[in-house]
Structure 1
Amino acid sequence: MRQFTAVVNPTAGDATGAASLLHLARLLREAGAELETEYSHSLAHAQDIARQAGERGRVVLAVGGDGMAGGIGGALSGTGTVLGLVPAGRGNDFARALNLPTDPAGLADILLNAEPGRVDTIEVESAVHRRTVVLGSVYAGVDALANRHANHARLLRGAASYYAGGLRAVTTWRAADYRVTVDGTEHAHRGYTVVAANSPYYGSGRLIAPGARVDDGLLDVVMIRDAPRRLFFTLMNELKTGAHIHRPEVQVLRGKELRIEASRPVPYGADGEVEATLPVTVRVRPGDLPVLYRPAGAEGH
């Protein structure tokens, strides 16, 4: 029977991470699993707890949102420690990419019985973040600004905070001139954003990269070109379904490594936590993290 260490972000989401864990913890213990709970006071603290638990051979549960999942997943990448996710944040986009159940019984079944599947991670390197590893995506441009606004929203939660942050960011955004180098090939790009996606989702369920897979050893690079603001608002709505990728203003590339530069200071972010300014180099780390989930088509318990 598995031994779990739950690392809880006590400020995640609308309710506390601890509240999200209560029902699940009872189900795990009733099944005979051992569960210890640790509360983090910072992401760095959460990463330390996770590493120490992994060194003791325990399965680490990241209880929180995408920042918690990405921070802990990044810290465990390459160590062999198995990660489980307990979605308890605003976005929960990486959990969505893994198609994890939202009900405690379904999630408990995954954590108790699923075989670990190896997923890719993303190494992020810049002058500020010399080497950071995340799970979901790196985004440079208006969406990084939108995420910053969403993180500081006090009255709105979940998708509403991201949508409001997006509206605020778009109204002040000026198109940037980017230089995007994908696996050694340079692409000039003028527009709103460049996204390097391991997960199809970001921004609380927006399907930014419908073709992205967490286990294919590649990043989907989505570039949205300069367009009238009214069209960009239409594109924002189309992110709900992924229909935006069929527009001529959107280009999708795939690769293992890319460097994003810009002619003026442009913010970038990663998994809702990292905030910095271009340039940045991004690399996929194929199959670097074992995670408890059932890939599409896998048989249930």
Structure 2
Amino acid sequence: MRYTFIVNPNSRSGMGGMIWEVIEPELIKKQIEYECYRTTYPGHATKLVRQITSDGCEHTLVVLGGDGTVNEVINGIENVEKVILGYIPTGSSNDFARGLGLPKDPDKALEVVLHPGQIKKMDVGLLTRAGKERRFAVSTGIGFDAAICHQAAVSGLKVLLNRLKLGKLTYVGIALNRLFHDKPVEAEIILDEGEPKKYKKVYFAAAMNHPYEGGGFYFCPKARSDDGMLDVIVISNLPKLVVLLLLPTAYKGWHVHFPGISVMRCHKVCIRTKRALAVHTDGEPVFLRKEIKAELLKEKIRVLTV
């Protein structure tokens, strides 16, 4: 098997490049046939992968980066059914790896790539907003969770905590800040083109392909990335203090037992809000919108897993 590595050397504030310098000698020593493409700017991975997969042939792509790099790669693939995806996590949140049970240790992750326990067929999400489409691997959301992603993308705190190997705390710190500055909004949720469900004081709504989001929040414990379904979570009609107290319970998935937390399953969802809110796909910021739609592609992508 020939591997094509898509390496984001800037992930986790430069840690990605350092990890690649350790990984590459192992590939050479093991006489693995590979080629490497390094990203140099936001969106570069999408452009590279689009060029690589435009030949219509099968490819084994290995992403070395964070969830954002996975998102860029997913969006560059011409035909997801002709790609086998491997992953060596080097980001701050690594929810993609967490959801698939992939090891965080780079050496162990490389072993999974070279000697996978199984090749899993994974669903790929599709976000539509204002007529534009963008794929997602983990989740897409609107509101509070997306605002956190927007701020994290430009936060100096993220750079500092990454250097201290505490990158996941970036999302916790920003979440506390956004919680007390952002106002909840009225929204309606339409599942599978059914009757609209109206919600007051919505903090955020997310459609999830994997159970984790935002650096380990276990928002949709029953979400499975191979079941052809999306899990939708809505947090609404709660005082901010209660939301603050509930956030830590979301690391264990206990939040789903409390009033104000709605978790539903569907094939497609439409989320409409009274005012434009931040939107994200796999933690990558998208422009403010009042409406988003999410569903799954008919095609699945193959992923190297344990």
Question: Could you tell me the TM-score, scaled by structure 2's length?
Answer: 0.90
Asked whether the 8 Å contact 1:53–1:59 carries over to 2, the reply is no
Q: Secondary structure at the match of 2:220?
A: coil
Q: Which residue of the partner structure matches residue 174 of structure 1?
A: 183
Q: Which moved more, 1:161-170 or 1:8-17?
A: 8-17
The offset of 1:79, in angstroms, is: 4.4
Q: Distance in 2 between matches of 1:103 and 1:94?
A: 14
The answer to whether 1:243 aligns with 2:243 is no
The answer to whether 1:187 aligns with 2:188 is no
Q: Secondary structure at the match of 2:168?
A: helix
AA matched with 1:31? K
Q: Secondary structure at the match of 2:300?
A: strand
Q: Which moved more, 1:282-291 or 1:240-249?
A: 282-291
AA matched with 2:59? R
Query: Among 213, 233, 237, which residue is 2:244 paired with?
Result: 233
AA matched with 1:46? A
Asked whether the 8 Å contact 1:4–1:59 carries over to 2, the reply is yes
Q: Secondary structure at the match of 1:189?
A: strand
Q: Which moved more, 1:73-82 or 1:171-180?
A: 73-82
The offset of 1:138, in angstroms, is: 0.8
Gapped regions of structure 1 (runs ≥ 5): 295-301
Asked whether the 8 Å contact 1:5–1:36 carries over to 2, the reply is yes
Q: Which residue of the partner structure matches residue 222 of structure 2?
A: 211
The offset of 1:80, in angstroms, is: 1.4
The answer to whether 1:281 aligns with 2:283 is no
The answer to whether 1:120 aligns with 2:123 is yes
Asked whether the 8 Å contact 2:152–2:174 carries over to 1, the reply is yes
Deviations 1:210-251 (A, max 9, x none): 111111110100111121111111111111111101101101
Q: Which residue of the partner structure matches residue 138 of structure 1?
A: 140
Asked whether the 8 Å contact 1:3–1:34 carries over to 2, the reply is yes
The offset of 1:50, in angstroms, is: 1.8
Asked whether the 8 Å contact 2:127–2:134 carries over to 1, the reply is yes
Q: Which residue of the partner structure matches residue 78 of structure 1?
A: 80
Q: Distance in 1 between matches of 2:224 and 2:145?
A: 21
The offset of 1:285, in angstroms, is: 2.1
Q: Which residue of the partner structure matches residue 19 of structure 1?
A: 18
The offset of 1:287, in angstroms, is: 5.2
Deviations 1:7-57 (A, max 9, x none): 122221043322122323333333331122211123432122223334454
Q: Distance in 1 between matches of 2:9 and 2:90?
A: 10
Q: Which moved more, 1:193-202 or 1:262-271?
A: 262-271
Asked whether the 8 Å contact 1:118–1:287 carries over to 2, the reply is no
AA matched with 1:122? G
Query: Among 156, 167, 172, which residue is 1:163 paired with?
Result: 172
Deviations 1:154-198 (A, max 9, x none): 133322211111111111121211111110122111221111000
The offset of 1:109, in angstroms, is: 2.0
Asked whether the 8 Å contact 1:119–1:286 carries over to 2, the reply is no
Q: Distance in 1 between matches of 2:13 and 2:250?
A: 24
Q: Distance in 2 between matches of 1:154 and 1:81?
A: 35
Q: Which moved more, 1:113-122 or 1:36-45?
A: 36-45
Counting matched residue pairs gives: 292
AA matched with 1:213? R
Name the Cα RMSD after superposition. Answer: 1.7
AA matched with 1:44? G
Q: Which residue of the partner structure matches residue 164 of structure 2?
A: none
Gapped regions of structure 2 (runs ≥ 5): 162-166
Point out 4+ residue stretches in structure 1 off by more than 6 angstroms.
none
Q: Distance in 1 between matches of 2:281 and 2:197?
A: 22
